[in-house]
Structure 1
Amino acid sequence: MDDLCAECGFRYDEADAPTAAADIRRLAGEVARALATPDADLAGRRRPELWSPVEYGCHLRDVLLVQRERVLQARRDNGFTCVTMGRDIRVEHEGYAEQDPDDVARQLTDAAALFGNVLDRLGDDWDNEMVYSWPQPQRRSLRWVAVHTVHEARHHLRDIRDQLD
């Protein structure tokens, strides 16, 4: 995978992993504030191929919870193969568009705190690995997982803001 996201300009640098917890908490707070935008249609899709702001918020919340469990498992079982989170089907199965934006914002900040706590406590396990399923199965260190999760948060904050402008 290229180390630069062509869409948002995020550059993957595993040296940034130690600050990932703080970055994720901050970005989740920004998403939560965006979901509190007065008089905004947070559940409506601007285009059929784009998720709505609340759907992106739900997705990010679930990413943080899934990543937390993956990192915890990698600490117990270095090198395990993670399964896909089923990102697209969750939108329907969990009814993302029908969820209350205030609830999603609160859950998102809680998920960021939970995941941040796990990252803050990694100690000597940063180099533990998992076989990560996206974009293709590949061995990834927990450093990469942390940086990738910062990318997810930053990228989806941009997705939400683009729809609210």
Structure 2
Amino acid sequence: MSEPDTIVPDEKDWTWVLYERCGECGFTAADVDPRHIGPTVRDLLPRYVSALSRTDARERPAPAVWSVLEYGAHVRDVFRIFGERLALMLEHDDPLFENWDQDATALADRYDLQDPSVVADELVEAGEATAAAFDEVPHDAWERTGRRSNGSFFTVGTLGQYFLHDVVHHLHDVRA
């Protein structure tokens, strides 16, 4: 099979969504009580399953725009990555997160060739696990810190808000 059309890598630093409303999806991360992240994720999971069940889930709306399937695989991996980052923050003092190149992962793992029903199941499993991890954050741990290699600094609370924007934003991308 041939490689999918190249997606222009998104090199923006999206941490600004912690302080401003996202003009694309309308989400305001700062308004989210971090204790509501788990329930919110669970509320959103059926919308992803529904989107991944569409007959056009494999079709890109434009050559350089991910399909619903590719977005679904990405969000599944977002759940996994942020679950790992949350665990690091709870287990270690001010951990430095490994870089994650989402575009390289999409190509290497061939998001475009994965089975939408399998991705839906994996997305729900990963989403439920990450939601549960946020549910279990101890009251005194929301201010624990972690960092990305680019210097972006997060507390457990802001990591959750940032993460939730990604989940909401991609529902907007797939029009679900």
Q: One fold, TM greater than 0.5?
A: yes
Residues 68-111 of structure 1: per-residue CA shift (max 9 Å, x gap):
00000111112111122210011111110111111011111100
Distance change (3 Å), C-alpha of 1:137 and 1:89 = same
| Residue 33 in structure 1 maps to residue 53 in structure 2 | no
Distance change (3 Å), C-alpha of 1:132 and 1:3 = farther
The within-5 A match list for 1:70-81 is 70-81=85-96
Identity of aligned residues (%): 27
Tell me which stretches of 4 or more aligned residues in structure 1 moved more than 4 Å: none
The within-5 A match list for 1:100-111 is 100-111=115-126
Unpaired runs of at least 5, structure 1: none
Number of the residue aligned with 2:145 = 129
TM-score, normalised by the number of residues in structure 1: 0.89
SS, match of residue 13 in structure 1: helix
Supply the distance in 1 between the matched residues of 2:85 and 2:23 (Cα, whole angstroms).
26
Match of 2:153 among 123, 139, 142: 139
Match of 1:98 among 113, 121, 140: 113
Number of the residue aligned with 1:151 = 165
Deviation at 1:46, TM superposition (A): 1.3
Number of the residue aligned with 2:57 = 42
| Residue 20 in structure 1 maps to residue 37 in structure 2 | yes
Supply the distance in 2 between the matched residues of 1:138 and 1:44 (Cα, whole angstroms).
34
Deviation at 1:62, TM superposition (A): 0.1
Indicate if the aligned counterparts of 2:70 and 2:111 stay in contact, CA closer than 8 A: yes
The count of residues paired between Structure 1 and Structure 2 equals 158
Unpaired runs of at least 5, structure 2: 1-15
